[in-house]
Amino acid sequence: MTGSWLPQILPLLLWSAVTQSAVRAKQVAVHSVQLQIETTWDGDPVESPTCVKLTKEPAGLGIEVDAKFWNDPTNPGGKAGQPFFKLWNYEVVELFLLNDKGLYVEIELAPWGQHIVLLLDNGKDVRHSLPIIYEANRSEGRWTGKAVIDQSYLPPNITKLNAYAIHGSGENRVYEALHPAPKGVHEGPSFHRLQYFKPIDLSQIVEQKSLSLVWVDAMIGRQSYSISNTWDGKPIDHGPAQLSFRGTKDVVEISITAPYFGDPAPPGGKPGEAYFKLWDYEVVEAFFLNDKEQYLELEFGPHGQHLSLLLNGNRNAIKHTLPMDYSANIIEDKKVWTGFARVPIDYFPPNVSLFNAYAIHGTEDDRVYEALYESSGPQPDFHRLEKFQPIDFQYILPDNKAAKLSPIWEMSIAESNIGKPAQTASQSFSIKKTWDDKPIDHTPVEVKLNYAEDNLVIQIKAPFFDDPAPENGKVGEAFYKLWDYEVVEAFFLNAKDQYLELEFGPHGQHLLLLLDGNRNAIKHSLPLDYSAVIDKVAKSWTGTARIPVSYFPPDVSLFNAYAIHGTGEDRVYEALYEVSGPQADFHRLNKFQEIDLSTLIPGNKGAKLPAIWEMSIAESNLGNQDHKAIRSFKIERTWDDKPIDHEAAEVTLMSAEDDLIIKVAAPFFDDPAPEGKKGEAFFKLWDYEVVEAFFLNDKEQYLELEFGPHGQHLSLLLNGNRNSIKHSLPLDYTAIIDKSSKTWTGMARIPAGYFPPDVSKFNAYAIHGTKDNRIYEALHEVSGPQADFHRLEKFKELDFDYFMPKNKGSNLSALWQTAIAESNLGRNHISYIDFKIEKTWDNKSIDHEPAEVKLISAEGELIIQMKAPFFDDPAPEDAEAGQAFYKLWDYEVVEAFFLNDKNQYLELEFGPHGQHLSLLLNGNRNAVKHSLPLEFSATINKDEKVWTGEARIPASYFPPNVSKFNAYAIHGVEPNRMYEALYEVSGPQPDFHRLDKFQPLNLETIMEENKHEELSAVWKQAIGESELTN
């Protein structure tokens, strides 16, 4: 919501509740309502109904649950009585309370004591994880729960509700609803279909007549805090300092109200300016921290001074005294001061997740330190980062999550490193002991780790024992169970028991495994760049491997390395760090020792799980109760719907927190590689071997993603058909070619902010080959005169909220808003005009949905899109789709006429079966040319009884200076032939050439090429030929 929120909120304060009781919601007492959930989400009876009782409580709304205990899924973890995000994925009972303005509270209660409360504004989550009082008990196959929901959480004037119960895992997941959706209308459940909520009268239970401060804060994106305790957790003896935060496009607005203690002002300090060491004076502070110990410290004083510091590591200030818009006002008689700051968003580190705030006043021995969250210790210390608490910063700055360091952060870090000695970018280890800590009797194996851009290079030097080589093993390729041969291994582990196991042999084979938990391999035999050389004279071997950083789990902190050689009873196992036990076991993770990879893999600390890890975990969990949303699509046909003659490219989509993981698995055709760097964007990647995915909403806003086998990628934001407003966005993308199998795989992580809101349609493509042998393949056919992947009407439905629930009902991300704004700079014309044909030719109302015609700007042409009811009239006989058909006006058709003031006009006709007709007319009814070639395609949806079409009309087909327009729709057969017009053409009978009835159209606003006096070559030739004939 923008800064103009007040006019939107004031009407909410004046509502009145006029409601009726709902079906299956029964008043059982003056101050209670009983709900019984007896059906599935689509109306089938359930095995065991769930009872929900609503009661009046002094603090707000009481909710009592009595339900069967399925224990499926099992306890999700978390603490009883505490909020648990995404509780809806477990066994849960939910209650939704809605008002007539689309504001609703979602309350979820679980049998194990966890809960979550969300505030939603017309489907948009504006606040979640609010605290409530809640207890649950389980016994004898049932569970009960009792919660009290604070009155301030309820939207004003509740008029409708719904309630749900969910249990079961995987394919046995069961969704139950108090008020179900009609059978067969929807493919799957969604509890946010507000049209199925039913009226309820809760006036005797809750009395929330106006928006609470909690709701106001949530709706305007504001968060408020009060500092009520001292630094060591004791209550203060005066009014608290209060802070509130609200994000805008460019800044975070911070408002402060605090007691004024009259301390001395900073000497020499000027109002509105930065003052170093402001912390020594009366001050209020706010700290914003991410998980990489990067934080912003802000300080504000009552006399108008401020201070901001960027810190890269605990207490490591790399920049301070930044400029800021700040003002303060002291109210002497009330002993209060207020402050208001506008902090540029670039000052915040990316991924802010933790927060604390402080207030300081008094002098010397009377100095008082206060904290929002206690930071106890030997003395006050506001840099005890472990004491900070979570903040939902996404409600303040949605684009801060997954953002990169801003330029000011990058520059500050770079400047802070000037003059510092460069850290070594390599580490070496020698394996000198056996697995059980005994000394070895030969030269030790040496393992060296080296930094390289986007890779970790591992170099091995080892004795060669001349053990048998792996049978049928190929040099440079993965070999499963390489551990049974002569081998050197390296294991990289994080605190979550996720680890990468690497194995290297002297004969050139390698093996890589991703393990999610002890011995739990979720992926193996990934391709690697590895080579080895044996020196039989020196009885030694060396190997070099390049390991992509995406293969490592995040936050690697522990390490071990091993060497194995010998056969049978002479098998020898050696370890960098001993792994003693009953027998040799290299998976004794508790024996691993610390390693610092900060200089070798700089981005590993605090990183998200790489896409390949996310996908591997998801694939390993398929069929389990905790598997993530995942779906695969195979591109098995050409763009014009013919079968392909090779293995299909496959695109897999998977949810991952707030991102989407995309996996590509495709044949490798070994086309020439683009001259671009791996992992970077490459413009016009579509000219190379590539797999593409398009995500579209109903406003023709779409994200185009392209992935190549050589590691390049391309992303484009398009606002309207082919209207690219941003491209070459950064992505986490890696690709691997396996030349032995002639395949390649790619893994990408796509930030949520890249997608337009309300994605509902999708298509995917694969392209390979060169010149005349170029092959275009499509998931959903896009037939037409030639391959065109932007035929949006051919896209098919995609249940995108299955992968990214927050996309549905969301606003445009800041990235999209900025891209649209930038694309409009300097423009003074619109990009499209649309019309609806709602009347008959003689100005009577029609009795069905109107035909819609949309004119869209495009370079050198005009795109015309139409959507119309399909009446299933007979198709033109012996006519081919995509071809001109003379006298198309005798069939089911939509027409558009473009007229200039010289009575020269272009008549265009389009039919649902794919035929078209264009005529140039030089004077009323004087056709001088017809059946011009056009690019046109149409699609009929017989289930919905509609058809859509898209045509691309060259600018040269239009007469110059078009100034008037009309459009028509015709259907039915005599005597039931119906003629409909955008602008009425009344007369004795239907006549679409009554040019005096046409209405103004300023075509130049969407087609600048039309503003000229000279006829195009097409028109000149047509007129010349007609004159010769005459």
Q: What are phi and psi of 865, to 5 degrees?
A: -115, 145
Pick the closest to residue 750 from 766, 733, 768 (CA basis).
Answer: 733
- Residues 868-884: tens digit of each pLDDT: 999 999 999 988 888 99
- Residues 918-932: tens digit of each pLDDT: 999 999 999 999 999
| Spatial contact of 593 and 558, defined as CB atoms under 8 Å apart | yes
Percent of the chain whose pLDDT exceeds 70:
95
CB burial readout 768-789, b (16+ within 10 A) else e: beeeeeebbbbbbbbbbeebbb
Question: pLDDT at residue 15 above 70?
Answer: no
Query: Which one-letter DSSP state was computed for residue 83?
Result: B
> What confidence score (pLDDT) does residue 971 get?
97
| Spatial contact of 200 and 25, defined as CB atoms under 8 Å apart | yes
Question: pLDDT at residue 34 above 50?
Answer: yes
Query: Which one-letter DSSP state was computed for residue 237?
Result: S
- CB-side exposure of 733: number of CA atoms within 13 Å? 30
- Residues 316-352: tens digit of each pLDDT: 999 999 888 999 999 888 899 999 999 999 999 999 9
Distance between CA atoms of 188 and 193, rounded to whole angstroms? 11
Cβ-based burial of 654 (10 A; exposed 0-12, middle 13-18, buried ≥19): buried
Which residue in the block uniquely carries the two structure tokens 């970790």? 456
- What own/partner pairs with CB < 8 Å and gap ≥ 24 does 840-846 have? 840/978, 840/979, 840/980, 840/981, 841/968, 841/979, 841/980, 841/981, 841/984, 841/985, 841/986, 841/990, 841/992, 842/984, 842/985, 842/986, 842/990, 843/984, 843/986, 846/978, 846/980
Using alpha carbons, list the distances in angstroms from residue 671 to 709, 767, 779. Answer: 10, 10, 21
Classify the C-alpha dihedral 107-112-113-115 as positive or negative: negative
Mean per-residue pLDDT over the chain, rounded: 90
Please state the length of the chain.
Answer: 1030
Task: Give the residue-averaged pLDDT of 368-374.
Answer: 95
| Spatial contact of 428 and 448, defined as CB atoms under 8 Å apart | yes
Question: pLDDT at residue 828 above 90?
Answer: no
Tokens for 479? 């070999």
Band (1026; pLDDT cuts 50, 70, 90): confident
Question: pLDDT at residue 982 above 60?
Answer: yes
Return the amino acid letter for 721. N
Question: pLDDT at residue 10 above 60?
Answer: no
Q: Residue 815: which region, alpha, beta or left (left: phi > 0; alpha: psi -120 to 50)?
A: alpha
Q: What distance separates the 2 farthest-apart alpha carbons in the chain?
A: 111
Question: pLDDT at residue 7 above 50?
Answer: no
Hey, is 364 helix, strand or coil? helix
677 vs 763 pLDDT, higher one: 763
- Residues 468-491: tens digit of each pLDDT: 999 999 998 899 999 999 999 999
Query: Which one-letter DSSP state was computed for residue 374?
Result: -
- Residues 542-571: tens digit of each pLDDT: 999 999 998 999 999 999 999 999 999 999
Question: pLDDT at residue 797 above 60?
Answer: yes
Band (12; pLDDT cuts 50, 70, 90): very low
Question: pLDDT at residue 778 above 60?
Answer: yes
Distance between CA atoms of 525 and 509, rounded to whole angstroms? 10
> What confidence score (pLDDT) does residue 957 get?
95
